[in-house]
Amino acid sequence: MADDTSGPRSGATYASSGVDLALYAEGMARLPAHMRRTQCPRVISAEGGFAALFQMTLPGLFRRAWEDPVLVSCTDGVGTKLKIAVLAGVHHTVGIDLVAMSVTDCLCTGAEPAFFLDYVAMSHDDPDLLEQIVRGIADACVESDCALVGGETAILPDMYQRGEYDLAGFVVGLVERRRIVDGRQIQPGDVALGLASTGFHSNGYSLVRRAVFDLGGLACGDAVPELGGRTVAEALLEPTRLYARPVRSVLRHYRVKQPVHGIAHITGGGLAENLARIVPEGVQVVIERGSWRVPAVFPWVQRLGAIADDEMARVFNMGVGMVLVVAPHFADSIASQLGDFGIESWRIGTVHAADAGAERVVVR
């Protein structure tokens, strides 16, 4: 006898497919408080709208007149550093990373970051996880004087394993056309100032994870004596340094002639490759190896993975997260100004005349 299928059956729902709209709404309700603390009077959009509105000038006492403003836009992510965050159950620091990676790119043009948006893709609705991520994003936006004006949360149960997620960030900045820093003014005699990183920032984590977890056999909770007893997770989740406030202060300090001729963000590809992106034809930056302090986390990972020196230099920032190429007369003053913000810096190289076709950056 055939089975009786005439009784009532439950239809498919969004929740049974992996997306819980009630949890989603709970997560969204937690975010406006974090966004509000980043915002300035130039943000005029209402909460819950479909787009963010941002005015360039303000009336009255806070009026700012732009002469010839140029919009600057950047986007980036955090990469496989997120896998360590998931393993460790620590999620606010990667929100800081997300902001830092885009905002620092924006700074390389001499621009001030104006507003930031995020994209969070999650395997399942998780209001606590989402709030941790966005709290870190908001913390970094406050520190960078950048308004968090909105974002998007996508629940994609068939794209990620449960508990996994991905992040993308987008920043828009502004700079006066006459104040753009693009490297064209770099000239012989200029000094390359290296600004200290806080470690790996958000680059090279596929190699880091291979060295630490696969070859080194370590776990997130293991203490590392050579790193002062910090755990593996604490060392590897150190947030990317936020350079926006100190670098913007330096740029604003010089009203007439700008002594900062070039700015490079040292990310994947290392010091030589990233600095070369802003060096014009006819000059060469000679970097002196050993002229800056290399944080202990780099030789630790190198030892665990038996990584060659040239591979380390090609993948990681090796302790220099940003380079300012400056007029020599101003180098000490700029270093002092950075120091006032707690940013250690070093004279790591000089600019020389070079024949056409010569390498833009040489490390010796």
Domain boundaries, given as residue ranges, for the chain: 21-45+68-179, 191-363
Please indicate whether the domains covering 21-45+68-179 and 191-363 agree at the CATH topology level.
Answer: no
Q: What is the pLDDT of residues 198-245, one digit of tens each?
A: 999 999 999 999 999 999 999 999 999 999 999 999 999 999 999 999
φ/ψ (deg, to 5) at 229 = 85, 0
Please name the residue that has the structure tokens 């941790």. 132
CA–CA separation, 311 vs 37, rounded Å? 42
What is the amino acid identity at position 346?
Answer: W
| Tokens, residue 39 | 């915002």
CATH classification of 191-363 is 3.40.1160.10, yes or no?
Answer: no
Q: Looking at the predicted structure, is the pLDDT value of residue 33 above 70?
A: no
Which is higher by pLDDT, 344 or 34?
A: 344
Q: Looking at the predicted structure, is the pLDDT value of residue 259 above 70?
A: yes
Cα–Cα nearest to 236, from 272, 205, 276, 269: 205
Cα–Cα nearest to 151, from 21, 332, 27, 4: 27
Nearest-5° Cα angle at 360, 354 to 364: 90
Instruction: Work out whether the CA dihedral 124, 126, 127, 130 comes out positive or negative.
Output: negative
CA–CA separation, 183 vs 315, rounded Å? 23
Question: What's the fold here for domain 21-45+68-179?
Answer: 60s Ribosomal Protein L30; Chain: A; (3.30.1330)
Mean pLDDT of 9-38: 74
Query: Whole-model pTM?
Result: 0.91
Which is higher by pLDDT, 347 or 21?
A: 347
According to DSSP, the β-strands at 283-287 and 147-155 are unpaired
| Tokens, residue 359 | 């390498």
Q: What is the pLDDT of residues 277-292, one digit of tens each?
A: 999 999 999 999 999 9
Q: What is the pLDDT of residues 1-11, one digit of tens each?
A: 455 555 556 68
- Count of C-beta atoms within a 10 Å radius of residue 335: 20
Q: Looking at the predicted structure, is the pLDDT value of residue 61 above 70?
A: no
Tell me which DSSP letter residue 334 carries: H
Q: Identify the three-state secondary structure at position 245.
A: helix
CA–CA separation, 271 vs 323, rounded Å? 9
According to DSSP, the β-strands at 283-287 and 345-353 are antiparallel
Element (H, E) at 127: helix 127-143
